[in-house]
Amino acid sequence: MLTVFTSIFRKPKNIIALLIGSLIIFFILRVLPIYEILHNSYKIPGISFQRKQELFFDYTLGSFMDIPIIEQVLIISLSVFTVINLILFIVFARRQRKILSKRSFIASVSGMFLGLFGVGCLSCGALIMAPLLTFIGFGAYLGNFAEYALWISITGVLFVLFSIFYLLKKISEPMVC
């Protein structure tokens, strides 16, 4: 599996995709909880483009340094692992166009879903999930979600890691007719 992993990520296009994709997902994870703040501050009349950039980087990168180290590691690892998972899934799908394993797809999607909505400070995931949980009818359990947001993030990262290993196994040992 390690040889398959290194052969996939030896290609420059995959390394570039990993770097750019990780940065994009990192900024998405940092912007989602503060989107409303940024949106409202950008609507202030007469605000310069330079000030908008300063606000963006203060809220995304500046506030990143203020959160606990475990949450920083979770955000960075989820960003990198999600892109690795997507790249492996694309490679797997290209190699197995006709036979797609449902388990790897479910693990990929559930890991990314859990990880993306649990990452950040305790209230960030709750802000994103509140409308969805309320719509489903689980609004009363929102306090539990905020209380266990860190564990939900860890579970999401573990699901993504499981998906990575499962996809690597399927790529290295393809099913043969």
Range of the domain at 121: 2-172
Q: Are 121 and 150 in contact (CB under 8 A)?
A: no
- pLDDT at position 143 is 56
The pLDDT of residue 15: 93
Q: What is the pLDDT of residues 134-176, one digit of tens each?
A: 455 554 555 555 666 777 777 778 888 888 888 788 778 765 5
Residue type, 140: A
Residue 163: inside a domain? yes
Give the per-residue pLDDT at 124.
Answer: 45
Which is higher by pLDDT, 159 or 120? 159
- The pTM of the full predicted model, rounded to 2 decimals, is 0.68
Spell out the residues 6+ positions from residue 31 whose beta carbon is closer than 8 angstroms to its own. 38, 59, 60
Q: Is residue 152 part of a domain?
A: yes
- Asked if 105 and 138 touch (Cβ cutoff 8 Å), the reply is no
Q: Is residue 54 part of a domain?
A: yes
Give CA 142 to chain center in angstroms.
Answer: 21
Rg, Å, the chain Cα set:
19
Find out whether 64 and 23 touch, Cβ atoms under 8 Å: no
The answer to whether position 177 is within a domain reads no
The total number of structural domains in the chain stands at 1
- Is pLDDT larger for residue 114 or for residue 155? 155
**For 76-96, what is each residue's pLDDT tens digit?**
888 898 888 888 888 877 776
In a domain, 16, yes or no: yes
* 64, part of any domain: yes
Average pLDDT, the chain: 74
Q: DSSP code of 98?
A: S
Q: Which region among 10-24, 46-60, 62-76, 132-146 has the lowest average model confidence (pLDDT)?
A: 132-146
Phi, psi (deg, nearest 5) at residue 170: -70, -35
Query: pLDDT above 70 covers what percent of the chain?
Result: 67
Give the CA count within 13 Å in the CB-facing half-sphere of 103: 8
pLDDT higher for 47 or 147?
A: 47
Q: Is residue 92 one of the residues assigned to a domain? A: yes
The burial of 177, by beta-carbon neighbours within 10 Å (0-12 exposed, 13-18 middle, 19 or more buried), is given as: exposed
Q: Which stretch, 10-19, 25-34, 36-45, 135-144, has highest mean pLDDT? A: 10-19
Which residue has better confidence, 110 or 166?
Answer: 166
Kindly state whether residue 94 falls inside one of the protein's structural domains: yes
Residue with tokens 């492996």: 88
Element spanning 172, H or E: helix 149-172
